[in-house]
Structure 1
Amino acid sequence: MTVVDARVRLPQHLRGNAEYRVPARQSESYDRVLGLTGKMNAGTLPALLAAMDAEGVGHAVMHAETEGGEAAPALNEAVARVVAEHPGRFSGVGTVDLDAPRPTRAARQTADVHAAGLLGVALQPAFFGLDIDDRLLYPVYSRAEELGLVVAVHTGVTYSRMHPMRHERPELLDQVACDFPDLKIVASHAGWPWVTEFCAVARRHPTVHLEFGGLAPKYVAKPGTGWDALFGMMPNVLRDQVLYGSDWPVIEPARALSEWRASGLPADALDALFAGNARRLFAIPDEK
């Protein structure tokens, strides 16, 4: 089976800024916990392709996500270029400008994402002081629902010490799913520490998927870490709503895939996690 990675980052060297730079209070805990700055600056497209080839990852969804300081149109153009230059290996998810957000601009940029052939929009509301259900984001949700785009939203803990976690609580995502019942939503990072509540949101809304990018699967499978409810539902009621993602370069595919395979999930649940659900959500053709 060829694996589909539902979440990799646009490499830093393809962005407008040659180095990953954010305020110190935003990066210090990310660097302490995940080594984010070093990984972002070291990660290159050739390295990503090599890691995919080594682990049987035939396709990856590249996200133009940003925590600030980068212009969305340039990020979207860079992702679209990677997709065009590597046909069959990548699909793309764009983004919109959320610093000083303007609803009309956000709606237009969402339409531009679709026109560029990208499959969705990535949003990180907490980094811009916005709730998931902030009214300023509703034009993005509305246009994305209309155009059939997936919206990937950062959920759960953010290690930035500048941005409170309350912006990304599960009830806020639930409100968006209620207001846009045909919108395909990905809860990026699967909402820890509110895992049980995010399971309830996904159980209520078949349009909501939970994605594990940037997480160590061995902890998802370990009792008492806060993931128990979701791990228990992955083989059954939520089997079709979970997505494997590495969030490369945060977690290397070799580590993530090895830990998932050692987690104890049955083969059919791993098949859905590793490829089936992402192919269906992003309309990625089956392997030949």
Structure 2
Amino acid sequence: MRIIDARVRLPQDQRPAGRYEAPTRQTEQYDRVLGLTDKMNSGTLEALLRVMDAQGIGRAVMHAESEGGEDMDALNIGLRGVLDAHADRFVGIGSVDVGQPLPTAMVAQAMRAADLGLLGISFQPAFFGRDIDARELYPLYSRAEEIGLVVAVHTGITYSRMHPLRHERPELLDQVACDFPDLRLIACHAGWPWATEYAAVARRHPTVYLEFGGLAPKYVARPGTGWDAIFGMMANVLRDQVLYGSDWPVMQPERALREWRESGLPDHALEALFTTNAQRLFGLDAAGSTRTGP
């Protein structure tokens, strides 16, 4: 099985800033729970390629996402550099600064990402005080739908103590999916603690994918942790709408892959999770090449 990691982060050594830094109130719980700052600062492109080789990961979708404080255009250009150097290993999802006041500026930034050959755009509404269905984001969704960009949206819990959870509730993504029925949406981190509701959103909308980056699969598979509805549907009605992602360097692929294989999912569900869903969503053929036509 040729594994596709649907979510790795642009390594810190490929970003304009030499070190990952963010406000203390934003990072203190991330550091306590996930060790985020140390992991980001120790993550290098060389290390990522080594772990991909060791774990049999043929391709990865690299996200130039940011929680703020970085030049998104510069991140997207840095991502393009990685893709140019390793075209056989990565495809890219660019970043858009949704904190800027003008919707036209967001659209222009998304168009620049598309001009770089990136397959989609990523943003984290809560970190910028936006609801997923904020009216300021609608021109961005509209243009993405029009030109075929995938939109990856942070959903569910954020450990930042500066940003409330309410911005990323499931009914907000449901509204966007209703208003843009051909827009392909990724619910990054799969929406816990609203797992039942996000399962319902994905069940209603075949254009919505649930991605598990940064999560420990053993908890997704464990009854009573709040993931029961999504996990129970991963082998059947949601099988074609789930994506394996590590969120490297936050979660090491070795652990994530091992725990998914030990989760009890049948082989057909693991193949969809690890490979075929990402192939279809990102236009990758069976050999891992990016298709240039429909």
TM-score by length of 2: 0.97
Residue deviations 1:80-121 (CA, integer Å, cap 9, x gap): 111111012000000112233311111111111111110000
1:113 maps to what in 2? Answer: 113
1:204 maps to what in 2? Answer: 204
2:19 maps to what in 1? Answer: 19
Instruction: Kindly report which structure 2 residues correspond to 1:88-237, keeping only aligned pairs within 5 A, or say none.
Output: 88-237=88-237
Which segments of structure 1 move beyond 3 Å, counting only runs of 4 or more? none
In structure 2, distance between residues paired with 1:286 and 1:101: 42
In structure 1, distance between residues paired with 2:139 and 2:100: 15
Instruction: Kindly report which structure 2 residues correspond to 1:23-38, keeping only aligned pairs within 5 A, or say none.
Output: 23-38=23-38
Residue deviations 1:3-53 (CA, integer Å, cap 9, x gap): 000000001121121111000000000000000000000000000000000
* Uncovered stretches (5+) of structure 2, i.e. residues with no partner: 289-294
1:45 maps to what in 2? Answer: 45
In structure 2, distance between residues paired with 1:100 and 1:285: 37
* Uncovered stretches (5+) of structure 1, i.e. residues with no partner: none
Residue deviations 1:204-234 (CA, integer Å, cap 9, x gap): 0000000000000000000000000110000
Residue deviations 1:145-179 (CA, integer Å, cap 9, x gap): 01101000000000000000000000000000001
SS in 1 for 2:153: strand
Residue deviations 1:115-155 (CA, integer Å, cap 9, x gap): 11100000100000000001111111111101101000000
Q: Which amino acid aligns with 1:88?
A: D
In structure 1, distance between residues paired with 2:74 and 2:197: 36
RMSD: 0.8
Deviates more, 1:192-201 or 1:109-118: 109-118
Query: Are residue 252 (structure 1) and residue 263 (structure 2) matched?
Result: no
TM-score by length of 1: 0.99
SS in 2 for 1:101: coil
Q: Which amino acid aligns with 1:193?
A: P
In structure 1, distance between residues paired with 2:86 and 2:96: 24
Q: Which amino acid aligns with 2:133?
A: D
Instruction: Kindly report which structure 2 residues correspond to 1:72-91, keeping only aligned pairs within 5 A, or say none.
Output: 72-91=72-91
Q: Which amino acid aligns with 1:175?
A: Q
In structure 2, distance between residues paired with 1:247 and 1:134: 26
SS in 1 for 2:251: coil
SS in 2 for 1:284: coil
